[in-house]
Amino acid sequence: MKNKIFNKLQESAFFVPLSLLFLCVLAYGLLIPSLGYYWDDLPYAYINHMFGPEGYPAFVASDRPYSAWIFMGLSAALGEEALGYHITSILFYWLCSVLFWIFMRTLWSDREKESFWAAMIFAVYPGFLGHPNAIIYNHHYIVMILYLVSLIGSLKAVKSQHKVWLWHMPAVLAMIVSQFSLEYYLGWEAVRTVIFWLAVGNKAEDSLQRIQLVVKNNFPYWVGSLGFLIWRLLVFGFPTYQPFGGGEVDPISKRFFLTTLMEIREAAILVWGLALPRLSPVPFSRGFWAIYLGLILLTAGFVLLVSRWSKKLRKDPGINTVDRFGSSALLTAIVGIVTAGLPFWLTGLSVDIEGFSSRFTLPFISWAVLLLVVMLHFLEKTFFKKVPLVVTIIAALVVGGSTGSQFWNANRYRNDWQEVQRYIIEMVHRIPSMEPGTTLVINDMRFLELYSDNSLTALVNWTYSPDRVSVDMNIMVYYLSVRLGNGLPSLEPGLPITQDYRSLHFKGSTDKLLVVYSDLEGCLRVLDDSHLDWLPADFPESMIPALALSNLSVIETDKVRAAPPENLFNLEDQPTWCTYFEEAELAAQVGDWQRVLTIGDEAYSLADNANELTEHFVFISAYLRGGQLEGAWELSQMVSERSVGVLDDALCNLWRSIEIERVNKFDVNYDIFCSTEK
């Protein structure tokens, strides 16, 4: 009975789409309950929070004004929470993989196995790392869906015998909407010419007639694309990235050719190295690493099982058809790969398979996958003709390894979301409120690689001004390494700070600036130049000049503490060493040393406390001012021993300064911390 049900299922039209959905859920869906917003998702989500869907036309007007309909529709349906966007992201990309499968079967109707392999590998292509950026890439996936629909529709039109316009009209419309919404897939028009050439082969009597048929069918698509190019080049222009890199890109130079060739090699060939299993659990736990390896085996086994059991996938169409597929698919893949990056190369942008720039691999996915399938096909028909199972195993392992790679990538996003929540929670404990017009100057944070300062600006404003509805932001967050001389004019007092981000604006001054530092070893710190010997061990020298401008008076201590957005955060604000430390630093700022003592008693009762030794100084100060010399002495000795004397001068200065404040001498020989020169 079970075999009959399985046989019916695997022969049905829904079997491959359901298999692709299963694969997408394994690759992208297992961790989505613990994912949040990243990169540009946060500003887009913040716009929706303030203005609702109506805020998007102005927000996207500067670069892609005709993309607003996508963001408006999704935000109207999904609201503010991240979960809905992550679910639709999986569904939209799954639909892309289904449409690519349909495209393959439409062009090569007798190549069921190759179409199945291509769709499966497409679904988990390991070179695109942006799937958890759900809001932004919902936009990209919808545009890809439209272009794939256009390619399929145009193929159907060419193969139809009657009323071809019924296919051409929606295909042209889908292409136009896609191009005006996002220009990423403009290079695919070269592929359309190739597939038309392949599709009209049986209709043409000779090469001349074949060319005529290709031109005739291509004409409406050329007109539509020409209309887009005229609008983009001559009407709308290039408000952000400039064609030819603003004069820095020479498309006929040897350097341009070699760079392009290297990027093609990376996106289409080297990318499959990412499917190789990571044999070390670093940087994640061994438990996660075990799940990751198990997922690879599960998905590889699934693909292998389906490939061997399905009668359709085992069917061999014959040697003549095989030869036609190999050459035609290779031509399509090469043309697709060579032209996929044109929108980026001509604007001086680099295509790579790492970090945020992996978004430029999106138009490469289809053709890189097709090239790999051609290679597998060649291996099977040349070297493993008698044992085709070997090639099927290779294909299954590529799918399995790529699924594991995407799962590994999703966990990286999950960890960053946890860290950014910790960062904001610590911030509101240290800075309960701040004056409008404040600029936060922050360090480059190793643990927040998935966030720009634009991302953090949106989240900080959302946290501190949750009910504000205005294009004028109260707070600006700057990475000093990025913005000095570019937004932040210089590190001098009294200078205006103005910053535009799409439809949002900020006005501030270097007189209302806070230096905020955080790293993996310690807690968030708000610093100025009052205690330079208390700086954390890894504090960057490049930020020291900014300390003189850090104005702690912009912190409003008498206001109700800000609260992170409850509908976004899944990390509870539980008491930790860092939250106690932030409260102590805030109390010390206003001179409430008795409160620092109370907080210290609670903080030191925890099983875990400071990893960064300079965090103890605020409590040593409180013990000294409160006359608790024994506690101050014990802490000072511990800091001295653990720092191997590096912080002895700072301890000496602290004891001496408070002794001077108290007028009378301490009955403790703290001179052991003081160098003989003092």
Q: How far apart are CA 278 and CA 405, in angstroms?
A: 8
Radius of gyration (C-alpha) of the chain in whole angstroms: 30
429 phi and psi angles, rounded to 5 deg: -75, -35
Cα 47–Cα 134–Cα 170 angle in degrees, nearest 5: 95
Q: How many residues does the chain have?
A: 678
Q: How far apart are CA 2 and CA 397, in angstroms?
A: 27
Q: How far apart are CA 584 and CA 344, in angstroms?
A: 50
Q: How far apart are CA 390 and CA 273, in angstroms?
A: 19
**Per-residue pLDDT tens for 180-209?**
999 999 999 999 999 999 998 777 778 899
CB 652 within 8 A of CB 670: yes
List the structure tokens of 31.
């961790």
CB 636 within 8 A of CB 666: no
Element holding 478 (H helix, E strand) = strand 475-479
DSSP state of 663: S
With the CA atoms of 577, 481, 435 and 563 taken in that order, what torsion angle do they form, in degrees rounded to the nearest 10?
Answer: -40
Cα 519–Cα 618–Cα 431 angle in degrees, nearest 5: 60
CB 648 within 8 A of CB 640: yes
Mean pLDDT by 10 residues, the chain (678 residues): 58 86 97 95 97 96 94 96 96 98 94 94 96 96 98 93 86 97 95 94 82 93 95 79 57 80 94 91 87 96 85 59 77 96 87 83 97 95 87 95 96 95 96 97 92 96 96 97 94 95 96 95 94 92 96 94 92 90 96 95 89 95 92 93 93 90 78 70
**Residue among 409, 400, 403 nearest 358 (CA):** 409
- Is residue 434 classed as helix, strand or coil in its secondary structure? strand
Q: Are strands 504-509 and 525-527 parallel, antiparallel or unpaired?
A: unpaired
Our measurement of the distance from residue 437's CA atom to the centroid of its chain's CA atoms, rounded to an integer in Å, reads: 29
CB 357 within 8 A of CB 350: yes
Element holding 148 (H helix, E strand) = helix 134-159
Cα 283–Cα 539–Cα 649 angle in degrees, nearest 5: 125
Task: Tell me how far CA of residue 405 lies from CA of 295, 398, 545, 581, 639, in angstroms.
Answer: 10, 10, 42, 38, 43
Count CB neighbours of 109 within 10 A: 12
Q: How far apart are CA 366 and CA 96, in angstroms?
A: 10
Q: How far apart are CA 178 and CA 146, in angstroms?
A: 6
**Residue among 401, 205, 189 nearest 295 (CA):** 401
Q: What is the pLDDT of residue 239?
A: 66
Count CB neighbours of 4 within 10 A: 8
Dihedral of CA 445/451/456/459: which sign?
negative
Partnered with residue 434 across adjacent β-strands are 555
Give the amino acid at 5. I
Between helices 648-662 and 617-625, what is the axis angle to 10°?
30
Q: How far apart are CA 294 and CA 277, in angstroms?
A: 11
Q: How far apart are CA 214 and CA 192, in angstroms?
A: 9
Our measurement of the distance from residue 547's CA atom to the centroid of its chain's CA atoms, rounded to an integer in Å, reads: 31
With the CA atoms of 636, 640, 643 and 646 taken in that order, what torsion angle do they form, in degrees rounded to the nearest 10?
Answer: 110
- Is residue 473 classed as helix, strand or coil in its secondary structure? strand
User: Residues with Cβ < 8 Å from 603, sequence gap 6 or more?
Assistant: 577, 580, 581, 584, 609, 619
CB 24 within 8 A of CB 93: yes
On the 0-12 / 13-18 / 19+ scale of CB atoms within 10 A, 1 is exposed
Q: How far apart are CA 116 and CA 391, in angstroms?
A: 14
**Omega before residue 170 within 30° of 0, cis:** no
CB 513 within 8 A of CB 546: yes
- Is residue 321 classed as helix, strand or coil in its secondary structure? helix
The 3-class secondary structure across 576-615, one letter per residue, is CHHHHHHHHHHHHHCCCHHHHHHHHHHHCCCCCCCCCHHH
Q: What is the pLDDT of residue 71?
A: 97
Count CB neighbours of 325 within 10 A: 20
Work out the end-to-end distance of the chain between its first and last CA atoms, rounded to an integer number of angstroms: 91
Q: Is 52 left (phi over 0), alpha (psi -120 to 50) or beta?
A: left
Q: What is the pLDDT of residue 243?
A: 61
